[in-house]
Homo-oligomer: A and B are copies of this chain.
Amino acid sequence: MSIKPRSGQPTINDVAAHADVSKKTVSRVINGEEGLKGATRERVQAAIAELGYVPNPQARALALRRNMTLVLLHDNPNAQTVLNFQNGVLRAIANSDLALAVRPVDRRSDRMLDDVRAFLTRHRPLGVLILPPISERDDLAQLCSELDVPYVRIGSALLDAPDRCVASNDSEAVAAACRLLTAAGHTRIGFVRGPEGFRSAAEREAGFQAAIRTAGLKLDPSLCAAGNYRFESGIAAGEKLLNRPDRPTAIFASNDEMAAGVMHVALGMGLSIPGDLSVIGFDDSPTAQHIWPSLTTVRWPLVEMGELAAEKLAGRFLGHDEAKAVPTTLSSAVIERDTVGVVAG
């Protein structure tokens, strides 16, 4: 009856011996299988508790051909975006056995799919979380299906079946934000676009255009500037839009970093914000609070999206009720701060 664990930790065999059952029965208890006699289950559970037994994840992984790991796949130009989402995932799995592995990829490489394939066949994770912009690539999602790895795609719009995506309503949120501008009397409103090919950029632009039309204004293409979600592109856009004689009295930038760039240019020119120029961004990143004046923006609920996505992918490993459906869409909300003013005159 003496217990002598080999490597320090008790194994399934120790528990089986201690409870006087086969290890298969212990396995059944661990995995919560049905059809065990109550007394047997209790005896095993008592043995598990007494020995402080924890199943070895490596052994399970080998037998199941699956690791208790979630993989975060991303190629995102914005660091804060990745981190916020990551924090949401971590919050969801905090009290579980699951681990989070982070895997950045290069969407511009033609080996991207091969890299992902190699990584997934090697690590056989429980599931994959895919961040924008690569969440928009159908070939990637298809690859996961082919490799039998469940996935959840994150995006600014529904990118897949409800159990395979989590989305925010960027378009509506941006429209609401831009209505702040039109309601304040602005008629010449500039727009800084996100990177080409990004769904989020398209959604935000659609929201901007909707607000303009709702206000009965017309879209002026010359008031639009290109951008790539980076600060520097905001600088360039600001220089383009603010150096015109008939410069806009307000600018919506498709994310906060670019909005900060626009403000940099404006303040450098001696313009006052929001006196001479109103600005709105998107993300509610730390930058939005740190710059002066504090930026009015749209809060993108990334942390919550990360939580939802993890629950969708691995709810049953997080002790969640299977029956309870996890929502698919989260709302972005306008955060009013100090960069929107009414039009003079």
Q: Which residues of A contact B (CB under 8 A)?
A: 7-9, 54, 56-59, 61-62, 65, 67, 69, 79-80, 82-84, 86-87, 90, 97, 99-104, 118, 121-124, 231, 257, 260-261, 263-264, 267-268, 286-287, 289-292, 294
Contact = CB atoms under 8 A, between A and B. Distances in A.
**Is chain A's binding surface mostly helix, strand, loop or mixed?**
helix
Copies of this protein in the assembly total 2
6 contacts: A56-B122, A57-B122, A79-B83, A260-B290, A286-B287, A290-B291
A7 B292 contact: no
A144 to B, nearest CB: 15
Contact of A62 (B8, B58, B257): B58
Contacts of A231: 286, 289-290
Contacts of A59: 62
A59 B64 CA distance: 11
Contacts of A123: 57, 99
A3 B260 CA distance: 60
A199 to B, nearest CB: 23
B90 A102 contact: yes
Contacts of A103: 99
Nearest to A261: B290
A290 B102 contact: no
Contacts of A9: 121
A292 to B, nearest CB: 4
